[in-house]
A and B are shown apart, each in its own frame.
Chain A
Amino acid sequence: MTQQEINIEVLRYNPEKDSEPSYETFQVPFSHETSVLQGLQFIKDQLDGSLTFRWSCRMEICGSCGMMINGVPHLTCSAFLRDYYPGKLRIEPLSHLPIERDLAVDQTDFLQKLESIQPYIIPKETRSLEDGPFKQTPAQRERFYQFSECINCLLCYAACPQYGLDSGFLGPAAMALLHRYNSDSRDAGQAERMPIVNAQEGVWGCTLVGYCSEVCPKGVDPASAVNRNKVSSTLDYFFRFMAPRGASE
């Protein structure tokens, strides 16, 4: 295997010691299949054990290892050093989120937002286990499935300019998951979730940049979830305030 070397510049920040972040460069050997994550692991194993970042599954499904690579949000397990060579890489923590240490960001805000959208089936009918599964045709499943593929990696939050300006904005992933439950044929929770959608910090905060969908590693397309919710929100408003009582049923 041919081994080359590449420079990786990483953001360092230790809240116990540093008043502000700085950058440090490491030289890392790589071969054709070396991921950016493996580059960071090499630094931690061999050069500086204090470099701090999250990782786990290595296969784009756990959502732990999102970072900014040369300014672009990306999962580091599925980005490869070869694609940046002979240039260098600058690795930074995901934008718009508070840094805990080095490349690890605080995920609490997203987790609270996720909880706020009631991300569970609010059933249409009471159904016991003895009644067996709900019927759901492939077409019905198709209506929400894409939005259920969100791995909560937060790349879309790092991409979203609106979230950067106002962290109160519900944001792409939480909106996509809200839409996922609202669109599920087994669910009847839309009315309970609509106040979140309608709020200033809900769907109307989105300024339609669409960068969230571009960076999503799973093709979830949060931007389209937001847009579909704008339609729902408008209809909701119409039926509640403009149309005669009962028209929405």
Chain B
Amino acid sequence: MRIGVVTFPGSLDDVDAQRAVRLGGSDAVPLWHGDADLKGVDAVVLPGGFSYGDYLRAGAISRFAPVMGEIIAAAQRGMPVLGICNGFQILCESHLLPGALIRNDHRRFVCRDQLLRVENNRTPWTAAYAEGQEIRIPLKNGEGGFVADAETLARIEGEGQVVARYLEVNPNGSLDDIAGVSNERGNVVGVMPHPEHAVEELTGTGTDGLGFFTSLAASVLA
């Protein structure tokens, strides 16, 4: 598998995401925000960071990057796309995912080792997990509060589009403790916590995040 990792101005976890892709057994292909070229990749990861400084609204400017036009079209054709943190925000701004992410309810940036429950393992990014599996991965955000209107919320809950939910502590005021969602088709997934920081025993919180980067190959082979 060849998985592209996009670098926007202000991307921070792009190197980490490339490492996670490699440790997951795939080839990491760097993609540049200004090039409308996906270099023939099989899937794309939008990494965390503060693209364009998050100055207007997190993800609002990156959504218009030349590479995003290609990604939006490919996602609509079914290509797997994973957005992590800032990447999740960009996917919401691009209307590839429902809902929006707003400033944490306590108004502070928070970095913590977060327990999650994987609610939906039928996406190409979560197939390696058991449904209901509990995993601990780093969370770090200032604007991670997931919100949606009541109708949208009811729909994504009803359609099983909630991919992961916070356990023990809701770190940012997300509605229904939602930590990640997918689109209706399931190929586009956004998560606020950082699975790419949990892929080695040595660093981060262990290897609970590696499943996000091994699922793709597993789901394609299956």
A and B form one complex: no
